[in-house]
Structure 1
Amino acid sequence: MQTETQPTPNKPKQPRQFVRFTFFKLDPQWQLLSAETRQQGKQELLRLFEEYADASLMRSFSLFGLRSDCDFMLWQATYAVEDVQSVSSRIRRSAMGPYLRETHAFLSMTKRSVYVGKNARGAHDPRLVITPDDKKYLFVYPFVKTRAWYALPLADRKRMMNEHIRVGLTYPTVSLNTTYSFGLDDQEFVVAFETDNISDFLDLVQELRETEASSFTLRDTPMFTCVAQPLAEILEAIGA
Structure 2
Amino acid sequence: MVGYVEDSDLAEMPQVPLTLEGSSVLHQMFHFDWTAWKKLAVEERGAIAAEFAALLARWESGANPGDPTVPPNQSALFSMLGHKGDLMLIHFRDTFEALNAVELELAQTGINAFLTQTTSYVSIVEMGLYESTEKIYAPLLEKGLQPGTVEWATGIEDGLSRTRAALTPRLYPAIPAAKYNCFYPMDRKRGEQVNWYTEPISDRRVMMHEHGMVGRRYAETVRQIITGSIGMDDWEWGVDLFAEDPLTFKKLIYEMRFDKVSAVYASFGQFFLSVRVPAANAGHWLEGKLE
User: What's the TM-score bracket when you normalise by the shorter of the two chains?
Assistant: 0.7 to 0.9
The equivalent position to 1:177 in structure 2, one of 225, 234, 238, is: 225
Q: Which amino acid aligns with 1:224?
A: F
Q: Which amino acid aligns with 2:201?
A: L
Q: Where does residue 189 of structure 1 map in the other structure?
A: 237
Q: Which amino acid aligns with 1:37?
A: E
Identify if the C-alpha distance between structure 1 residues 157 and 212 changes in structure 2 by more than 3 Å, giving closer, same or farther: same
The TM-score normalised by the length of structure 1 is 0.84
Structure 1 unaligned segments of length 5 or more: list them.
1-13
Q: Residue 179 of structure 1 contacts residue 191 of structure 1 at CA under 8 Å; is this kept in 2?
A: yes
Q: Where does residue 183 of structure 2 map in the other structure?
A: 140
Q: Residue 224 of structure 2 contacts residue 240 of structure 2 at CA under 8 Å; is this kept in 1?
A: yes
Q: Residue 31 of structure 1 contacts residue 239 of structure 1 at CA under 8 Å; is this kept in 2?
A: no
- 2:94 corresponds to 1:79: yes
The equivalent position to 1:59 in structure 2, one of 63, 76, 97, is: 76
Identify if the C-alpha distance between structure 1 residues 239 and 122 changes in structure 2 by more than 3 Å, giving closer, same or farther: closer
Q: Residue 77 of structure 2 contacts residue 89 of structure 2 at CA under 8 Å; is this kept in 1?
A: yes
The equivalent position to 1:123 in structure 2, one of 150, 165, 172, is: 165
Q: Could you report, residue by residue, the CA deviation over 1:182-219 in whole angstroms, capped at 9, with x for unpaired residues?
A: 1011111110111122222211111111111112112x
Residue 119 (structure 1) shift:
9.2
Q: How does 1:86-105 map to 2 (within 5 A)?
A: 86-105=101-120
Q: Where does residue 126 of structure 2 map in the other structure?
A: 111
The number of residue pairs the alignment matches comes to 224
Structure 2 unaligned segments of length 5 or more: list them.
1-19, 64-72, 133-159
RMSD value, Cα: 2.2
Q: Secondary structure at the match of 1:201?
A: helix
Identical columns (%): 27
Q: How does 1:186-225 map to 2 (within 5 A)?
A: 186-214=234-262, 215-218=264-267, 220-225=268-273
Identify if the C-alpha distance between structure 1 residues 189 and 15 changes in structure 2 by more than 3 Å, giving closer, same or farther: closer
Q: Secondary structure at the match of 1:69?
A: coil
Q: Where does residue 17 of structure 1 map in the other structure?
A: 23
Q: Residue 23 of structure 2 contacts residue 125 of structure 2 at CA under 8 Å; is this kept in 1?
A: yes
Q: Could you report, residue by residue, the CA deviation over 1:38-85 in whole angstroms, capped at 9, with x for unpaired residues?
A: 11111122222223333121112221xx21231121111111212211
Identify if the C-alpha distance between structure 1 residues 186 and 102 changes in structure 2 by more than 3 Å, giving closer, same or farther: same
Q: Could you report, residue by residue, the CA deviation over 1:153-188 in whole angstroms, capped at 9, with x for unpaired residues?
A: 111111111111111122231221001111011111
Q: Which amino acid aligns with 1:154?
A: I
Q: Secondary structure at the match of 2:22?
A: coil
Q: Distance in 1 between matches of 2:241 and 2:123?
A: 15
Which is helix-richer, 1 or 2?
A: 2
